[in-house]
Amino acid sequence: MICFPNAKINLGLHILEKRQDGFHELETIFYPVQIQDVLEFNKASDTKITQHGLVLDNKAEDNIVLSAYNLLKSKYKLPSLDIHLLKNIPFGAGLGGGSADAAFMLQALNDYFELNITNHQLKEHAAAIGSDCAFFIDNKAALAKGRGEILTPCSIDLKEYCIQIICPKIHVSTKVAYAGVKPMNERKDLSEIIKQDIYSWKDSLVNDFEQSVFEQFPALADIKTQLYAQEAIYAAMSGSGSSLFGIFPKNKKANIRMDIGFREFIS
């Protein structure tokens, strides 16, 4: 069985308040983009996972894909598997690559072994693994609330535009990013902002992490400046960083210049 987990970007991200469980109440719009990993599994005598492509900062046995497999194995009769993951989506970049891998693993196991798990149940399983995993079950634009697991379909469609994604070799700690953000409840709802003309997003569609993260990593702020200087309709950081994206008219993109290395994707 083979599948191709894809990434996402965040269109706006509001941190509303800190919850009693230690998480933050947030509001964001997840939008799928076509940067893809490759995930494959076959029946085997022992379960193991082999990682290829980008070198991850965790041991193979700690990969979130195994968390997805073990969760379903605890509820259904599953055989041992030989799992291969080709990692192409940069990690620690705010693109949801790990969450996508886990969600796609849940779906692939459900399909291949005919477990008859409903879509709603798959989302519940995914949410138990990670805050934004549930999004990748439907894998369609959605307004996310709570920790990111409360999803409402969103009609936004950016297929007529070019999305340029820049992933610099900078690691932004999620813990540090949250420590620097200032929660704020009273503001216009993202579901209303996203309905505005895309050319107005620059002044109203905000990622709350940008202020504190840009203070720590000026190179990220510089990328956003370059995207706008080269006629991006909208530019922002995705999630808590470190990737940034620009939305351009079709067949246009920016020439990004920076001293540190980076990877570029077009969706």
Annotated catalytic residues are 8, 132
Interacting residues of 142 by C-beta distance below 8 A, sequence separation 6+ = 29, 30, 135, 151, 152, 153, 154
Q: Which H/E stretch holds residue 122? A: helix 119-129
Q: What angle do CA 210, 32, 243 make, to 5 degrees?
A: 30
Q: Is 109 exposed, middle or buried (0-12, 13-18, 19+ CB in 10 A)?
A: buried
CA distance 80 to 4: 21
Question: Reduced to 3 states, what is the DSSP secondary structure of residue 161?
Answer: strand
CA distance 152 to 165: 25
Q: Is 63 exposed, middle or buried (0-12, 13-18, 19+ CB in 10 A)?
A: buried
187, two tokens: 């503001």
Question: Reduced to 3 states, what is the DSSP secondary structure of residue 228?
Answer: helix
Residue 252: name the closest of 225, 228, 231 by CA.
231
